Amino acid sequence: MSLRRLRSYGFGSLRRLRSYGFGSLRRLRSYAAVPVVLVAVAASAGCGAGPSNRPAVAVEQLEPGSPAETESSAAGPPPAPDLQTPKSDLAWRDCTDAQLDQTGFGPGPEGLIIECADLSAPIDSSRAVLGTFTIGVARARLPQTPVDAPPLVLTSGSDRSSTSTLAGLASGPVGSLLSARPIVALDRRGIGTSTPIDCMPPDVREQLLNNAQGAPDQPAAISQASQEATVACKDFLQPHELAFDTPHAADDIEQLRLAWQVDTLGIIGSGNGAKVALSYAQRYPQHVGRLVLDAPEGVGLDATTTTEQQVQGAEAALTAFATRCTGLGCSLGADPRAAITDLVRRADAGELGTISANALLTVVTGFLGSPRSDQANHVAELSDALSAAANGDTAALEAMIPREQGAISSDGEFVSRCTDGQQWPPVEKVRGLTETWGQQYPVFGKQAALGMLACTAWPAAKAPDLPAALDIPVLVTRTLADPVVGGGGASSVTGAVTNAGGRPSVIEWRGYGHPVSAHSGCAQQAIAEYAATAKLPTNGTACPA
């Protein structure tokens, strides 16, 4: 195929063609059907009927920060170290029913086994501080999972407990990854099945959960609650209040490697957990055999930017849900998005009884991220609860709130999130953002801006160092309709990987939810292949919804 013929399809130059991920004219000639392929990408952009097991269908523009593919790089990366089966192991106990009941994800596939264990980790890896923490660990597998397959290690950081993220992935509608190898999740200190932190006075916790709704001056009231929560939690944790940051979480993963007596680990870091995975790669580069950054939170960004990216993802996910809801003829009517927007407004005005706007949005966000969120019966579950609340019956919605708040709002998550965040905005900036974001992002904007004040009193921590040397291929996934982290942070992550000498490849999933691995069979297959062979999919691969 000639460049002239390619131009006839609407591609004006070789430079423009390269922007679609094709490295040279020679490589372009091998893609005689490229216009058809690119049309297929555009057609896949809408949300489908549910989680998809369809294979990747196309290649798109390279992710900013990723290296352009060349003739030499197309031949494949240099060999990565093999993953290993643990030589010794933890004392596992069955906890399948407990994990699934707690998360509310349902029974899961036939034969699913989730086992739990405890890992003792030093407070400080240098042993400068004596003592240990108990870290909660969970392992998931299926009857067909090979018994000798090396596991992948999962961390979701402070977004929610890693063990509940694993339960969602294991019980979700796709399971090719878990069929290939076991997955082991480590909870962060003070989160999930790790030794809990109970440091806040109940009334302060309630203020933060509801963004001090009803107070004459909400921003000032949240700031005051932040002060009280910070003092209480620092006093409770002293002298270890600084031992709950990302590098310490990375050190806990290293303790698991030592317990297993293996040389290398394959790590999946989802959402905020991508920062933990990158910190591990920075601290222990010689022990990283595979690195999957699954719907990663951005790195090197201030809290306002990170929060706005999350809001953008939540708004996009809600739009996708509304389209799905309309297609099913759900109870929210002809315009589900408008109905939810109005319900949030009413909650903010105190018209839903004890249900605050932030509590309502916690339920909505939790649902939008769930691996079961776009199955027809679960779309009906949320829409029926919301439409009933709009008509004065809040019982179903009230029943959902404790579980969703409990999943993301423990005292341990408060400590970890506040420690991880950078440059939390002051009260006056937040006052302005509530107005600006409230107009730009009418469902999630105002409450997200107010929520940043929860950490405003927490001591500022140094951003964790990023890897300096990372000579392995790295798989990154993302979706723009991500209600937990949004999709805007992936470019900062691929840039960090490239700067460290790593070779990133990005898969973009066209559905809504978080993380990508819990929803997309296409992404799971790519992760499974990468874990087995260290082979990456072509950078820019699109997975259909």
Q: What is the pLDDT of residue 377?
A: 84
Bridge partners of 544, per DSSP, are: none
Q: What is the pLDDT of residue 2?
A: 40
Could you give the angle at which helices 490-499 and 273-283 cross, rounded to 10 degrees?
10
Q: What is the pLDDT of residue 103?
A: 85
Segment 465-492 mean pLDDT: 95
Spatial strand order in the sheet of 183-186: 58-59, 541-543, 503-509, 473-478, 288-296, 265-271, 152-155, 183-186, 132-141, 113-122, 93-94
Identity of the residue numbered 347: A
Residues near 255 by Cβ (< 8 Å), separated by ≥ 6? Answer: 119, 120, 121, 122, 135
Comparing 135-139, 174-178, 293-297, 348-352, which segment has the lowest mean pLDDT? 174-178
Identity of the residue numbered 414: F
More confident: 219 or 128: 219
Q: What is the 3-state secondary structure (H, E, C) of 212-275?
A: CCCCCCHHHHHHHHHHHHHHHHHHHHCCCCCCCCHHHHHHHHHHHHHHHCCCCEEEEEEECHHH
β-strands 288-296, 152-155 pairing: unpaired
Q: Band of the pLDDT at 53, cuts 50, 70, 90? A: low
How confident is the model over 329-356, as pLDDT tens digits? 999 999 999 999 999 999 999 999 999 9
Residue 45 predicted with pLDDT over 80: no
Q: Please name which of 315, 314, 366, 306 lies closest in space to residue 493, comparing C-alpha atoms.
A: 306
Q: What is the pLDDT of residue 56?
A: 58
Quick one: tokens of 371? 């691996």
How confident is the model over 503-512, as pLDDT tens digits? 999 999 999 9
CA distance 462 to 300: 11
Residue 107 predicted with pLDDT over 50: yes
Residue 73 predicted with pLDDT over 60: no
Q: What is the pLDDT of residue 436?
A: 98
Quick one: tokens of 76? 């494949």
Give the predicted TM-score (pTM) of the model.
Answer: 0.87
Q: Band of the pLDDT at 26, cuts 50, 70, 90? A: very low
CA distance 285 to 280: 7
Residue 372 predicted with pLDDT over 90: no
How confident is the model over 395-412, as pLDDT tens digits? 999 999 999 999 999 999
CA distance 80 to 87: 20
541 in Cβ contact with 58 (< 8 Å): yes
Q: What is the pLDDT of residue 374?
A: 78
β-strands 152-155, 132-141 pairing: unpaired
How confident is the model over 146-192, as pLDDT tens digits? 999 999 999 999 999 999 999 999 988 788 899 999 999 999 999 99
Residues near 116 by Cβ (< 8 Å), separated by ≥ 6? Answer: 92, 93, 94, 95, 98, 99, 136, 137, 138, 139, 163, 193
Residue 281 dihedral angles phi and psi, to the nearest 5° = -65, -30
Residue 481 dihedral angles phi and psi, to the nearest 5° = -95, 60
Q: What is the pLDDT of residue 144?
A: 95
Q: Band of the pLDDT at 533, cuts 50, 70, 90? A: very high
How confident is the model over 233-278, as pLDDT tens digits? 999 999 888 899 999 999 999 999 999 999 999 999 999 999 999 9
Segment 49-75 mean pLDDT: 46
Q: Band of the pLDDT at 78, cuts 50, 70, 90? A: low
The mean pLDDT of the chain is 87
